[in-house]
Amino acid sequence: MIEEAHHRLTSLKPILMEKWGVKKLGYFYEYRDVHHTVNCELNVLVELEKPLGWEFFTLKEFIQEKLEIPIDICTPRALKVALKEEILSKVRYV
């Protein structure tokens, strides 16, 4: 599942760059069970050329639809200071 998400995000990156100005794209998983299959959510981290406003939600829906799994999306600036270093150490960039 991780490799499939990585592959799909890699193939989506040019579209995301062109349509939404995504400069950097990464992800990490948040697992809620021991087997890493139930309630798995992919967290997507994007750096943007400029703020998107409400279009940010369109970006999320587009990625979620293409990956066919639930995602959460944020920018590095939106990460809580107390968790930022830990989260960034888990991010895998495409």
- The two three-digit tokens of residue 89, written as one number: 């150490």
Q: Encode pLDDT of 25-57 as tens digits.
A: 999 876 444 444 455 579 999 999 999 999 999
Strand duo 92-93 + 71-74: pairing = unpaired
Q: Encode pLDDT of 56-66 as tens digits.
A: 999 999 999 99
Contacts by residues 56-59 (CB-CB < 8 Å, ≥ 24 positions apart): 59/16, 59/20, 59/22
Q: What are phi and psi of 5, to 5 degrees?
A: -60, -40
Which CATH class for the 2-93 domain? alpha beta
Percentage of the residues of the chain whose pLDDT score is greater than 90 = 77
Across the beta sheet with 41-48, the strand order is: 71-74, 41-48, 22-30, 92-93
Render 47-78 in DSSP notation, one character per residue. Answer: EESS--TTHHHHHHHHHHHHHTS-EEEE-GGG
Mean pLDDT of 70-82: 93
What is the per-residue pLDDT for 25?
Answer: 98
Mean pLDDT of 2-27: 95
- 54 versus 2: which is more confidently predicted? 54
The yes-or-no verdict on residue 88 having pLDDT over 80 is yes
Banded pLDDT at 89 (limits 50, 70, 90): very high
The yes-or-no verdict on residue 85 having pLDDT over 50 is yes
